[in-house]
Structure 1
Amino acid sequence: MTRDNTLTFRSFEQYVLALTLVVLSGLLIYTQLPERLNLIVYDFAIRLSPQTAEQNTAIIAVDEKSLDALGQWPWRRSNHAKLIDQLSNANTKAIAFDIIFAEPDLNHPEDDAAFASAIERNGNVFLPLHIHPRSNETTLSEVIPIPELTAAAKNLGHIHVELDIDGIARGFYLKEGLGEAYWPSMSLALAESTHPDIALSLEQTSSDKEEVAAFVNVREGYTMIPFAGSAGTFPTFSYIDVLNGDVPANQLDGKVILIGATAAGLSDVLPTPVSGLASPMPGVEIHANAYSALVQQATIQPLQLKWIYLLTFAFVLIPVLVLPRLSPEQALPATLILISAVFLFSLAVLFFDQHWYPPASAIIGLITAYPLWSWQRLSQLNKFLNNELERLHHEPALTVRNLAQRPVKQLMSGLTAMLKPDAYLLLNEDTVIDSLHRKKLTRPKRLTPYRWYHKEHCSWIAFSREHKTYEIGLYWDDLQEIEKKRTFLERLKINNIARNRASAFKRYEKIASRIAQVRLAIDSMGDMRRFISDGFENMPNGVIVTDSLGIVLFINSHIEQWLNLPKQSVEGQPILNVLQLSQSTNRPNSSTDYRQQDPDWETIIHKVLINGDSNIAELTLGERDLMFHFVPSSASAPGDAGMIINLSDVTSIKQQQRERNQLVSFLSHDVRSPLVSQLAMLDGLKTGRMKQEHDTFDKLGHHAHRSLHLAEQFLQLNRAEQVNDSQFYECDLLTIIENSVDSIAQQATKKHIEVTIVDTDELWINGNAELIERVVINLLSNSIKYSDPDTSIKLSLKAADNRAILSIEDHGFGIEKDELPYIFDRFRRQKTSESSGPKGAGLGLNFVSIVIEKHHGSVEVESELGKGTTFTLKLPIEQGL
Structure 2
Amino acid sequence: MGNLFCLPITSLRDAMENSIPAHSESRSALLAGQIKRDWWWVTISLIVFTAALSLLRFELSLERLDFTFYDFQASNAFEYHRPKNTVLIIIDDKSINEVGYWPWRRSEYAALIERLHLAKAVGLDIIFHDKNPFYSADDVQLAYAMEAHGRVVLPTAISADQSRIHKPLNILLESARSTGFINAYPDKDGVVRRAHLFFSLPEEPLHLHFTLAMLLAGGDEGILKQSLQHPLGSTRLIPFLGPPGHFESYAFSDVIQGNIPPSVFKDRYVLVGAWSSGLGDFYPTPLSSAKQTSMSGVEILANQLENTILNNWIRTGSPLINAFFSIIPVLFICFILRHLTPRRAILSTTLILIIIFIGNWFFLHILSLWIPPTAGLIGTVLAYPIWYWRSQETVLRFINNEISQMREQDPELRQALAGRTAPNTLPARLSHLHKAIELLREAQQRKEETLRFISHDMRSPQNSILALVKMQRQNELTLSLDQLLTHVENYASTTLELVDDFMDLARVEAMELEMEPMYLNDLLVEVCDDAWVRAQAKQITVVFDEPEQGVWVNVAPSLFKRALSNLIDNAIKYSSNQTQVTCLVKNKENHVQIVIQDQGWGIPKVDLPYIFQPFKRAHATKTDGPKGSGLGLAFVHAVILRHFGEIRVNSKENVGTRFIIQLPVIPEPGSKHH
TM-score by length of 2: 0.48
Q: Name the one with the larger strand percent.
A: 1
TM-score by length of 1: 0.37
Structure of higher CA gyration radius: 2
Q: Name the one with the larger helix percent.
A: 2
